Structure 1
Amino acid sequence: MPSELIAAIATGPVRAAIGTVRLSGPGAARCAGAVFRPADGRALEIHPPKTLVYGTVLDRTGKGVDMALAVWWPEGSGYTGEEAAELQCHGSPMALSLALEALFAHGARQAGPGEFTRRAFLNGKLDLTQAEAVMDLIDAETPQAVRQAAGQISGLLSHRVEEIYGGLVDVMAHFHAVLDYPDEDLDPFTGETVEKALEQAERALEALLATGGRGRLLNRGVPCAIVGRPNVGKSTLLNALAGCERAIVTDIPGTTRDTVEARCVLGETLLRLVDTAGVRETADPVERLGVERSRRAMEEAQLILVVADRCVGLTQEDMELCREAVGLAPTILVWNKCDLPAGDAPVPLEALPDAVEVSAKTGAGLEALGEKVDRLFPHGAKGEGEALLTNARQTEAAGRALTAVERAGSALKMGVTPDALLTDVEEALSALGELTGKTVREDVTDRIFSRFCVGK
């Protein structure tokens, strides 16, 4: 069944310098040409493909609404693998809407969320990991996340999975070749052959699964708890890092009673910040609940910033909190209020967790804090040029493949004949196929592409 012709505004619904309307499907060039009048008077389809043409965009009544550029691609050469076209207009939301309405009047329909990328996947232009990387690129908030997503789109993860898949396919092909052509001069199908292939696949899958943590931190951010005694500047620090007044700040101890969350890029690391209630003994039942949530946030964090008041000096409570934090996650002591005279510290700073002096009020020292965070989480630098699993779906599929390979290896060691364990190899191949989209169910692809914006 041929695809329908779809169209959508591919840029955001805000005023901008440039706005794009895109089409994909049979007759895309003809439909675009019906609402675009080239300045040289020739029809758009007559112009060479992949060449920008200057002219006038028309509304559904044939009146000009913009001076713009148009381009078209023949089937097989564009993003979706179908015949496609784009109108590159000025970024007036109204002008773009009028152009889109005109395309609908000439036979196109509104594209659904992610439908362009879904067609690219269905037409073999992208596999599923590459399609997911398109969304990762759109959502990227750090330079490393951008570079990693670009690498995934180019096929870094796909190639890694295909290497594992190909090794297991070779095992299956060898078995069936020996079985189907017994008179041919083929190497015998032995346990040693299978064992070597399974060990290679197991090592490769273990290494791939080990990247899942870095991939998720790169895309979702590092859970980071900001903790400390009341009134040491935790909320001021969160506001400074977030770049807005996210938390209420007063001189009254115990202002923060519940956790407050924000996202920020510190250094080159994306953080999911949680500002917590001041940790202290209290008879106030509401504040006590806040303290309990603070400790729970520490337990769930992968980075803890212990904030202490440099003017007061380190207290016994600060030290106890530092010791507790170090036992839970990588910890940095944020020695706050460095713009004011310092108090006394009962122990040398070198005896504490990694420490940095900052002023959350003025912003002094935040760059140094970012450098320390980057050293603790060098996932960006390590991830460049590396295939990473970046979401739960990919990790789950790779995990099932590893389990099947391990089961096959165990069966082989127990004396099961090589041919009998090939069902486990087939299961591993099926899981790897789900990872790249070779064997994925339609409801899974529906869920993946529903995350995309309309026009992508």
Structure 2
Amino acid sequence: MSDIIAAAATPAAKSALAVVRVSGAGCIEMCDRLFFPAGKKSASSCEHSKSVYGTLRREDGSAIDTCLAVFCRAPKSYTGEDTAEFSCHGSPAAVSSLLSSLFRLGARQAQPGEFTKRAFLNGKLDLTAAEAIVDLVDAETEAAVKNAAAQLTGAMSARLKEIYTLLIQLPSHFSALVDFPEDDVEPQEISDILAVIDRVKAGLRALSASAERGRIIRDGIRAAIIGRPNAGKSSLLNALLGWDRAIVSPLAGTTRDTIEEKLILGGVLLRLSDTAGLRETSDETELEGVSRAISAARDAELVLCVFDGSAVPGPEDEAAAEAALAAPYQIAIVNKSDLPAACHTPPHAERMKKLVRVCALTGDGLSELDAAVAELFTDPLPAAGLTAAITNARQAAAVNAALAALERASDALLSGVTPDAVLLDIEEALICTGQVTGDTLRGDVVENIFSRFCVGK
């Protein structure tokens, strides 16, 4: 990591500001040749971590831009190395000129995620915090922002450190039993070891249980709107989006294809599909739409089953309700609440998780729908003191592998297996726990993780 890297940390588009980052031993002295601070002799004479105004110049002395610059000396920087950061005007041409000057002076183009990778390798953050940066950039809901920020500020790291500290005590106990087999193992010793293992397993189980909530926070949930023709499904989609995405007509069967949109409802990101009305038909195009509607309901985690509250329920409503009940979660939505009700409760609605009455045209009842989704999908984290959820498959797999190793260790101790065999499971649990934070992760896996970051991060 002795070379100097540089990259734009903002998108290559016209904007108010653009940020260019530089990192590596000697990068501040290198910047003496292109940044000239107002009232200072050179970049290297600037105070640590204090912003300073100045001019960026090419090798021939011509100006590139004026900017604010911040210089940080190792190890008190984001990457743990000497760093420079220029906040200049958001001209892609000016940014390109600045980067070209840096490259001519000896820097090279940073690879995706290389700044954060250097921070990780220099011990400035662990892998859970590094991955949280990507989650924060990608966050689409307030819950996703909060979870990523909690991980970034060390919530997950602190919990894993507690677990690792307990685990690291165990090998010494087992080693003593292995090294001195002639000594009888006291029942209390085994009991004490099992107590520690149980504490660790409880912590790992809480993390494992948080993975499903973490997935929902990060990726959202697949949802589908289904119902009979002309129940108001497309009107509901438009009302939720706040704009006319779907064509609405008094003629039944207007929607024939699946319309997909993302929206936030109840603080949850929904990947929502509006579908064709369910009914018997001989029209081939409409029949394909009905088939796609059933498929969308089958693939959905949440089905919004829309009923026309002003119409007498029929076989189409029965079919829609049956399709909805096959999903893990469903909400019965009785639409057209502004019209006289034809019946009190639609078929099977009482079997669904929630029931709300709305008027898609006026927006009445949409706040109740918002609350219903929130109640279904914003459960608290599974353990007191756990303030961040696992949000990716890599973390979940490592936690589950550590938990499985400790389950084997517990079972083995209780069945009288020799300590040396149990020690292997304890060591595996240590390795797997370390994989979550990156302490015991292979270099190629680390490279793969950071390759998914943006350039400049």
Query: In structure 1, how many angstroms separate the alpha carbons of the residues matched to 2:25 and 2:162?
Result: 36
CA deviations over 1:146-175 (Å, ceiling 9, x no partner):
111111011111121222222221001233
Does the alignment pair 1:415 with 2:413?
no
Does the alignment pair 1:386 with 2:384?
no
Partner in structure 2 of residue 308 of structure 1: 307
Post-superposition offset of 1:409: 1.4
Does the alignment pair 1:344 with 2:342?
yes
Post-superposition offset of 1:439: 1.4
CA deviations over 1:233-262 (Å, ceiling 9, x no partner):
323433443455554555553344443322
Q: Is contact 1:191-1:418 (8 Å) kept?
A: no
Q: Is contact 2:177-2:419 (8 Å) kept?
A: no
Partner in structure 1 of residue 371 of structure 2: 371
Q: Is contact 1:218-1:380 (8 Å) kept?
A: no
Partner in structure 1 of residue 24 of structure 2: 25
Q: 1:385 to 1:161 in 2, by over 3 A?
A: closer
Partner in structure 1 of residue 437 of structure 2: 436
* Segment drifting more, 101-110 vs 306-315: 306-315
Post-superposition offset of 1:421: 0.9
Partner in structure 1 of residue 295 of structure 2: 296
Post-superposition offset of 1:324: 4.5
SS at match of 1:211: helix
Amino acid at match of 1:368: E
Unmatched tracts of structure 1, length 5 or more: none
Does the alignment pair 1:424 with 2:425?
yes
SS at match of 1:70: strand
Partner in structure 2 of residue 455 of structure 1: 456
Amino acid at match of 1:48: E
Within 5 A, what are the aligned runs for 1:128-277?
A: 128-176=127-175, 190-243=189-242, 246-277=245-276
Q: Is contact 2:313-2:346 (8 Å) kept?
A: no
Post-superposition offset of 1:16: 2.1
Provide TM-score, normalisation by structure 2: 0.90
SS at match of 1:22: strand
Post-superposition offset of 1:41: 4.3
Query: In structure 1, how many angstroms separate the alpha carbons of the residues matched to 2:314 and 2:422?
Result: 63
Post-superposition offset of 1:352: 7.2
Query: In structure 2, how many angstroms separate the alpha carbons of the residues matched to 1:95 and 1:385?
Result: 46
Query: In structure 2, how many angstroms separate the alpha carbons of the residues matched to 1:58 and 1:366?
Result: 57
Amino acid at match of 1:144: A
Q: Is contact 2:171-2:423 (8 Å) kept?
A: yes
Provide TM-score, normalisation by structure 1: 0.90
Within 5 A, what are the aligned runs for 1:107-146?
A: 107-146=106-145
Q: Is contact 2:298-2:326 (8 Å) kept?
A: no
Post-superposition offset of 1:364: 4.4
CA deviations over 1:423-454 (Å, ceiling 9, x no partner):
01111111111111011122322222122111
* Segment drifting more, 149-158 vs 10-19: 10-19
Post-superposition offset of 1:341: 3.1
Amino acid at match of 2:410: G
Post-superposition offset of 1:49: 0.9
Query: In structure 2, how many angstroms separate the alpha carbons of the residues matched to 1:75 and 1:119?
Result: 12
Post-superposition offset of 1:75: 0.7
Amino acid at match of 1:425: I
Post-superposition offset of 1:99: 1.5
Amino acid at match of 1:452: F
Partner in structure 2 of residue 47 of structure 1: 46
Q: Is contact 1:239-1:245 (8 Å) kept?
A: yes
Q: Is contact 1:398-1:432 (8 Å) kept?
A: yes
Q: How many residue pairs are counted as aligned between the two chains?
A: 453
Q: Is contact 2:210-2:381 (8 Å) kept?
A: no
* Segment drifting more, 276-285 vs 72-81: 276-285
Post-superposition offset of 1:202: 2.0
Q: 1:345 to 1:31 in 2, by over 3 A?
A: farther
Q: Is contact 2:297-2:323 (8 Å) kept?
A: no
Amino acid at match of 2:404: T
CA deviations over 1:303-345 (Å, ceiling 9, x no partner):
211122344354453255335524533322223345x534412
CA deviations over 1:336-376 (Å, ceiling 9, x no partner):
345x5344125389957433343444544433321221122
Partner in structure 2 of residue 3 of structure 1: 2
Q: 1:121 to 1:311 in 2, by over 3 A?
A: same
Query: In structure 1, how many angstroms separate the alpha carbons of the residues matched to 2:345 and 2:364?
Result: 24
Q: 1:241 to 1:380 in 2, by over 3 A?
A: farther
CA deviations over 1:30-64 (Å, ceiling 9, x no partner):
23332211111410110111111111122454322
Post-superposition offset of 1:28: 1.8
Q: Is contact 2:36-2:55 (8 Å) kept?
A: yes
Q: Is contact 2:28-2:71 (8 Å) kept?
A: yes
Query: In structure 2, how many angstroms separate the alpha carbons of the residues matched to 1:380 and 1:97?
Result: 47
Partner in structure 1 of residue 401 of structure 2: 400
Query: In structure 2, how many angstroms separate the alpha carbons of the residues matched to 1:293 and 1:160?
Result: 44
Q: Is contact 2:70-2:85 (8 Å) kept?
A: yes
Amino acid at match of 2:139: A
Query: In structure 1, how many angstroms separate the alpha carbons of the residues matched to 2:382 and 2:229?
Result: 37
CA deviations over 1:374-412 (Å, ceiling 9, x no partner):
122224788996131111111111111111111111112
SS at match of 2:32: helix
Query: In structure 2, how many angstroms separate the alpha carbons of the residues matched to 1:447 and 1:210?
Result: 26
Q: Is contact 1:267-1:374 (8 Å) kept?
A: yes
Query: In structure 1, how many angstroms separate the alpha carbons of the residues matched to 2:374 and 2:298?
Result: 21
SS at match of 1:321: helix
Post-superposition offset of 1:289: 4.1
CA deviations over 1:195-248 (Å, ceiling 9, x no partner):
222222222222211110000000100221111112323234334434555545
